[in-house]
Every structure is written in C-alpha cells, then in structure tokens.
Amino acid sequence: GAVVSQHPSWVICKSGTSVKIECRSLDFQATTMFWYRQFPKQSLMLMATSNEGSKATYEQGVEKDKFLINHASLTLSTLTVTSAHPEDSSFYICSASWARGTEAFFGQGTRLTVV
Amino acid sequence: KNQVEQSPQSLIILEGKNCTLQCNYTVSPFSNLRWYKQDTGRGPVSLTIMTFSENTKSNGRYTATLDADTKQSSLHITASQLSDSASYICVVTLPGGGYNKLIFGAGTRLAVHP
C-alpha cells in the first residue's frame, strides 16, 4: 500500500511553454502533498506544501506564479511550470501523507527538460 | 552551511562487501532521523526511521545507528548486492512533526560492482 504515482515520468518542452505534472495517491487519501525539486547531485529542496482544498504554501524563493500548485482532491495534486525556461530543467518529486506528522511517501519523480 | 552532511560523497564497493555511510547533523532538537534509498531517476524510498531515543534500527541488510550525543548516524549495508547501487539520503525531521520540516542531506552515491 501507500503508493504515490507521478505522471509523466519525463517530459521535454520548449522554452516559454507550460508543463503540468500530476501526483496521485493511489491507495490512500492524501490530505497533504509536498513538491520538491532536485538538481543533479544535490539534495531534494522543498518547493511548496499543499493541503487539499486550500492554497499551497510556498518556500522562500519559490515563485508561486511560476509554479502553480493545485490540490483539488484528496488523491491528486498538480504542479504546473508556467513559461518554462532551461533553468527550470530539473527532477521534480512529490510526496503525500494522510495526516500531519505521519509518514509521507514519494512519487517516482518527473524529469523536466526545457529546450 | 548544510545542517545535514553526509560522507562519503560517493563510494564504490564490490558485490558481497559491507559498507558504512555516515551522516552528521547539527539540527537539534529533532523528531526523527530517516535514511532513504533513491535509485537514479526515481523517488526516495524509506529504509529506516529512528526517533532521538533510539540508537539502532534494522531493515533486512540495512542497519542504521544513531548517536544523539555526537549527532551522528550511520547506515551499514551488509553483503551488498548490485541492486544496492543508489543514492542514500539522510533526512532529519525538525520538531513539530510536520512533514514539511525535513532537512535533507546531499546523499551518498553508492555503486556496487560485480
């Protein structure tokens, strides 16, 4: 149990376009989902925390108008990278938990390449 | 300065050998310390979770230790297998239990060669 699935696993897009990444909890209701970004050989960096039905809380330095997060249901959160630029190329990972302070499970990640 | 530092940065061992990965942290107090395995191009998978009062936790061939006095943790892998090739990440959770208070180490990249 406790499976979190991301889609797509990888995506290549042109500079200036927008890309949507989905994060689904397959066998539990995720009240909280987290979005991370990971550059090569670096740690995961938290971008934002989203609770179902409310606005996401963004970490300092993360542009909320560029990285749009929607958590409209207990099983789905989406991250949209708007007007993507090559420097947005990274590995984006989500995690989901069913209650504050409980174990969170990571998705398999999405490799975004902006050309 | 990163609050969670791991060493070595990378490691190569032969299949069947044991190895130990280190994690030093400055975060104090903390709720728990976790070790994750992250395969290339995949999300992290939890291996062990230890509260500050625990000093060892095993999961199959993986054994984690924690010394809260010296603020050090280690992950020992016994009888390594090719499938152990991955990054191993040490993560400290700040008090409060909220999952967004994780502090990640940069990881140790382990390569197991036949």
A76 and chain B in contact, CB less than 8 A:
no
Least confident of B14-28, B30-44, B58-72: B30-44
pLDDT score of A91: 96
Query: Chain-wide mean pLDDT for chain A?
Result: 91
Contacts of A9 in chain B (CB under 8 A): 41
* pLDDT tens digits, A41-88: 888 999 999 888 888 999 999 999 999 999 888 899 999 999 999 999
pLDDT score of B64: 98
Q: Give B96→chain A minimum CA distance, Å.
A: 8
When scoring A44, A92, A105 by the number of chain B Cβ atoms within 10 A, the one with the most, hence best to mutate, is A44
pLDDT score of B29: 82
Q: Do the Cβ atoms of A41 and B100 come within 8 Å?
A: no
Contacts of A111 in chain B (CB under 8 A): 41
pLDDT exceeds 60 at position B97: no
* pLDDT tens digits, A88-102: 999 999 998 877 656
pLDDT exceeds 80 at position B2: no
Confidence of residue A1 (pLDDT cuts 50, 70, 90): low
Q: Do the Cβ atoms of B99 and A46 come within 8 Å?
A: no
Number of C-alpha atoms within 13 angstroms, CB side, residue A73? 8
Least confident of A72-81, B24-33, B38-47, B85-94: B24-33
* pLDDT tens digits, B65-77: 999 999 999 999 9
pLDDT score of B99: 60
